Structure 1
Amino acid sequence: MGKIDRIAKVGDVAEIMLDYVENKKTHQTSEVMRVPAAAYVDPDQYQREIDLIFKKVPLMLAFTAEMPEPGDYKAMDAVGMPVLIARDKKGTVRAFLNVCAHRGAPVAEAGRGNCSRFTCKYHAWTYGQDGKLLGVAEKSLFGDVDKQDRSLRELPCEERAGMIFVSLDPEATIDLDEYFQGYLHDFADLDLGSWAYMGSREIEGANWKIAFDGYLEGYHFGSLHPETIFPRTPSNRMHYEAFGPNLRIGFPHHAIAEKLREHPRDKWGEQENNGFDFVRILFPNVSAFIAPEITQIAQLFPGPTPDKNRTVLNYLRREPIKDDADREAVEGAMNFFRNVTYEEDYLIGMEIQKGLASGAHEDLVFGKNERGNQYFHEWVNWYLANDPDAPKPEL
């Protein structure tokens, strides 16, 4: 889909959302869906989710804006896997397991930096930006080493539309076109690759699906966010579009009619954040809210046990930091969004975790209006079935 077609499609969605607000409707499916409470507490399912979802699908692990220059790298933990992403001198991005081929120590400390080579702090073996073993400390005393056989273990990796995708399975292949079904054009049209990375915040919460469920619907805006989100965005007015297992969720503003009717109908597709917003969901664990002031893109990872998740809240914007006052304002904005996410969403998620663990109810129910949540759980179940020939969920 070209940019003109995409804008036209967004205009059609804006018209649908205008109808939702004016006529008190929302996107609905035909029936409610039940999800077993055990899905959020069972250690066996938790492990299968890691093995069959997080270690198989392409995960968005970094942004071009985080590591734009040759020699830049990012080292991180992803569901217990030590990952090193590096940009070589030609600008190509690669990903590796951050594990020295000598005795298994990391070759880069967690975080970001820039270097021409990576040196293991244990015995000082060195590796190039391409992962190849360059040097063995005191090789004459160590003995014969086949450098070609002792490279870092490479992971499938591809940079697209300002984001860097990695598969945690070294034997996997990545087909982003198939997986995202054209959705990445959204991010390419936003020119996300040229944006500036402002920083990140980390929070912890309940089971990753409990946390992610909150990003997938606006049914709770009035009750849970009466002073932060609800003044701008009404409760229970959502529109869902699917791109493979991924979603674009439309949230109209209270003032959508006033805002849209300031413009001719053929310009409605250009009014994102001016009458409506989108939350862009990358299955299984990314929620992106693109805003003109500052953008929050959340990465949710299963924690060390089924009842915990670790969420990295990333912040980007179109313009780099201008001065000290601008930096102070940006830090304040990041703290505000972090606090809202944690205090209004994640704290109740931890209460939900206790409730589900209590055995009070055998299942949860997602309404006809919560189609995004239903769709997400349908895809979780599809991956857990581990049957590629099974019919894929459709919105």
Structure 2
Amino acid sequence: MDTAADLAPQPLDHATALPARFYTDPAMVARDRAAIFDRSWQLIAHVCQLQDAGDHVIADFAGLPVIAVRGAADDDGPGTIRVFHNVCRHRAGPIASCDGLAARSLRCRYHGWTYGLDGVLKSAPEMGIAPDFNVADIHLPQLAVRVWQGLVFACVDEASAPDFDAFVEGIDARLGPGRNLANYGHHHRIGYDVACNWKVYVDNYLEGYHVPHIHPGLNKLLDYRSYITETAAWYSYQFSPLVNADRSGGDTLYGDGDALYYWLWPNTMLNILPGRLQTNRVVPLGVDRCRVEFDFYYTRDESGEARARREADLQFSDEVQLEDLTICEDVQRGLASGSYQPGRLNPLRENAVHHFHELLRHTYRQIPPLQERRKSR
């Protein structure tokens, strides 16, 4: 049961973290999906993964299977990108079980019901014997879609979500014309299953306070003294110049420039370094489990030097992620121990954590727990 004190707005200079039950109560799984994920813009793909008609990408939207697919091209250009529920209208089989290229249709592998790239049912084996059954009356539920900086976002309930232009307002100007994320090409995907609530992982991402203590390699790459964290309405970003020293005695891994880390409510991260975009999606799997999916996109360069840098980047990223998931799992155990009472946040280093928690508090105030909604009816 929420208390007024738990969800009251808190000023940054005296803010505390959320109570442990928001990370450990099993009822939070359904509450977070209804209150947050179904009402938010979530990243599903980059346009380079959906170049041609029939190209498709699947994802998990906090328990809702979805599929993004490029429709058929016409005289006006490439086909429309649509995002559907990846759930057959017959008996809930999967329309697709993996990403794919150039599919002519979407066929449920359970009983073979087949949908067009527009989501309308085209055929259903042996259903001609069913009275008043018309395939054209059946279609996959569709999500709202926006493509921004080459990134494909979708939303289950657009009417309850932030206006998309307001959602990303100011990011284009900060990136500048020299860092158009649409220009990258997909290279690699990796995922990590983490034994923690999805909010624990987001909390950890939102602050560089832990970098000197958890990430020795990353700490050598970033200028911690110049590390800046700023917040906007629906996102926050962290910025640091890259230190002109690498891990092997040669040229820097990423060259000259800066590291820019964007978090977009509620579960999308954009990690931008010279020549590389890395996206992560944090997918809730249970109250104490989540999956973090990483996609790596690089400038289009197949030289030996570029390939070597990509391999080094993947190895370095894996090192950092293993450090993160280890501490996140430790934190989840601490939250579940019964010992933890909400601690004070560092106003300089944890302002983005405070920003995230204020968005959570606001959302939970608007959408009470399920049992409370039932009592009020």
Q: What SS does the corresponding residue of 2:128 show, helix, strand or coil?
A: helix
| 1:280 corresponds to 2:270 | no
Contact 1:94-1:130 within 8 A present in 2 as well: yes
| 1:151 corresponds to 2:139 | yes
Instruction: Please identify runs of 4+ aligned residues in structure 1 that moved more than 6 A.
Output: none
Aligned counterpart in structure 2 of residue 360 of structure 1, from 319, 336, 339: 339
Paired with 1:213 and 1:351, the residues of 2 have a C-alpha distance of 13
| Residue pairs, 1:1-395, within 5 angstroms | 30-90=13-73, 91-169=79-157, 175-184=163-172, 186=174, 189=177, 190-205=179-194, 206-226=196-216, 228-235=217-224, 237-253=226-242, 274=256, 276-303=258-285, 305-319=286-300, 321=302, 330-331=310-311, 333-342=313-322, 344-369=323-348, 370-386=350-366
Contact 1:87-1:129 within 8 A present in 2 as well: yes
Q: Please, what is the CA RMSD of the aligned residues?
A: 2.7
Q: What SS does the corresponding residue of 1:231 show, helix, strand or coil?
A: helix
Paired with 2:17 and 2:128, the residues of 1 have a C-alpha distance of 65
Deviations 1:127-147, CA, capped at 9 Å, x for gaps: 111101112223433443233
| Pair 140,51 (structure 1): closer, same or farther in 2 beyond 3 Å | closer
Paired with 2:280 and 2:125, the residues of 1 have a C-alpha distance of 41
Deviations 1:231-286, CA, capped at 9 Å, x for gaps: 12244653233332201222244569xxxxxxxxxxxxxxx974542111111112
Deviations 1:355-395, CA, capped at 9 Å, x for gaps: 111111222331112111111111111112227xxxxxxxx
Paired with 1:372 and 1:153, the residues of 2 have a C-alpha distance of 35
Contact 1:201-1:313 within 8 A present in 2 as well: yes
| Pair 187,156 (structure 1): closer, same or farther in 2 beyond 3 Å | farther
Deviations 1:43-99, CA, capped at 9 Å, x for gaps: 223432221111111111111122222221112222111101111123210010012
Contact 2:40-2:161 within 8 A present in 1 as well: no
Q: Aligned letter for 1:242?
A: T
Q: Aligned letter for 1:86?
A: V
Contact 2:41-2:154 within 8 A present in 1 as well: yes
| Pair 362,33 (structure 1): closer, same or farther in 2 beyond 3 Å | closer
What TM-score comes out, normalization by structure 1 length? 0.78
Q: What SS does the corresponding residue of 2:21 show, helix, strand or coil?
A: helix
Paired with 1:89 and 1:158, the residues of 2 have a C-alpha distance of 18
Paired with 2:41 and 2:172, the residues of 1 have a C-alpha distance of 13
Paired with 2:129 and 2:309, the residues of 1 have a C-alpha distance of 56
Percent identity, aligned pairs only?
A: 26
Structure 1 position 330, deviation (Å): 3.1
Contact 1:250-1:276 within 8 A present in 2 as well: yes
Paired with 1:163 and 1:58, the residues of 2 have a C-alpha distance of 11
Paired with 2:180 and 2:317, the residues of 1 have a C-alpha distance of 23
Q: Aligned letter for 1:311?
A: V
Deviations 1:160-194, CA, capped at 9 Å, x for gaps: 22111111348767731122224355568422222
Q: Aligned letter for 2:227?
A: M
Paired with 1:208 and 1:95, the residues of 2 have a C-alpha distance of 23
Q: Number of matched residues? A: 341
Paired with 2:242 and 2:161, the residues of 1 have a C-alpha distance of 40
Paired with 2:312 and 2:24, the residues of 1 have a C-alpha distance of 35
| Pair 105,171 (structure 1): closer, same or farther in 2 beyond 3 Å | farther
Mind listing any 5+ residue stretches in structure 2 that lack a counterpart? 1-10, 74-78, 246-253, 368-377
Paired with 1:170 and 1:245, the residues of 2 have a C-alpha distance of 15
Contact 1:156-1:172 within 8 A present in 2 as well: no
Paired with 1:116 and 1:170, the residues of 2 have a C-alpha distance of 29
Q: Aligned letter for 1:63?
A: H
Deviations 1:7-38, CA, capped at 9 Å, x for gaps: xxxxxxxxxxxxxxxxxxxxx95334332122
Q: What SS does the corresponding residue of 1:340 show, helix, strand or coil?
A: helix
Q: What SS does the corresponding residue of 1:334 show, helix, strand or coil?
A: helix
Contact 2:71-2:81 within 8 A present in 1 as well: yes
Q: What SS does the corresponding residue of 1:365 show, helix, strand or coil?
A: coil
